[in-house]
Structure 1
């Protein structure tokens, strides 16, 4: 199967879980969703809280242009509850990362996150991607546990590889999920 990168940029949905391509119209809804958990932003590479929000929102759009990200807004019905991305879909390799994900506390930890990730993974595989990666700040135990529940394998930790917006030099846990592993679990 060949990789169909342009097909990645499609709206996805399953019941009330909806992923739309991010537009300027989503700015204020995402601002409100990001404000629902002010403490979490310390472990993100850049902040989407308060006075940092507009710069962060614009930066995500720039990443779509310069580094080939596909930006999604996450909705629960009609309500914006977060964001997620396909990151650097492989130019010559059928590999991409799912990341830059934030979802509001009221939809975390239950079937919403699983459904959202299932939509993203199924769609990436349908577009020809054979390997999906997740890169998580090693301090974020909840996200690492969620990625493991998806069936991804912890392949190692990159030590002190990224400086966050707070100046913290973080370790990044790298997880991989192969298409054939996902297909045997679903």
Structure 2
């Protein structure tokens, strides 16, 4: 995980390992979209926020990154379950507040930074796991050149009690080289 821990920058976009000083601005950013959390595996609203933060920081299997755009925290994303032996890492847990979605290519630029960095650190496969109901995220992952490799049926119970299907996408270095936005 330490190889992934760094600051990533692209102009007015900055990703940095989530620190204590990011917590309250992230809480505010998450509260700007009350409805989206129904299709996330965890909620980051109200009393759920602190529990989610404890989970994210309480493991060595996840490196959450604060996403700052034009100097303001607008969301987060994470490297998840890095498998050094097999050179695989997942990118997920991404939330971008509504004003920044689709703006200035923020999501694409953020993912490009994370993907380039993961490949530079020797990972050869990146995975994305997306709730089948999350059509916006599925489309965004496909735009990156990832391949939909299958769907795990009824494999995760979300914070609402919904049992979701999870779409699995894989991105290999050669896929990225062909499709890099």
| TM-score, length-scaled by structure 1 | 0.93
Q: Aligned partners of 2:46 and 2:170: how far apart in 1?
A: 33
Q: How does 1:22-101 map to 2 (within 5 A)?
A: 22-63=18-59, 65=60, 68-101=61-94
Q: Aligned partners of 2:68 and 2:170: how far apart in 1?
A: 26
SS in 1 for 2:145: coil
How many residues are paired up?
Answer: 179
Q: How does 1:99-178 map to 2 (within 5 A)?
A: 99-110=92-103, 111-178=105-172
SS in 2 for 1:167: coil
Paired residues of 2:84 and 2:123 also in contact (CA < 8 A): no
Give the aligned CA root-mean-square deviation in angstroms: 1.0
Q: Aligned partners of 1:185 and 1:166: how far apart in 2?
A: 36
Deviates more, 1:5-14 or 1:174-183: 5-14
- The runs of at least 4 consecutive aligned structure 1 residues that moved more than 4 Å come to none
**Which is helix-richer, 1 or 2?**
1
Structure 2 spans left out of the alignment, 5+ residues: none
Q: Structure 1 residue 59: deviation in Å?
A: 1.4
The CA deviation string for residues 54-90 of structure 1, in whole angstroms up to 9 with x for no partner, is 1111211113x3xx21110111122110011000111
Paired residues of 2:27 and 2:44 also in contact (CA < 8 A): yes
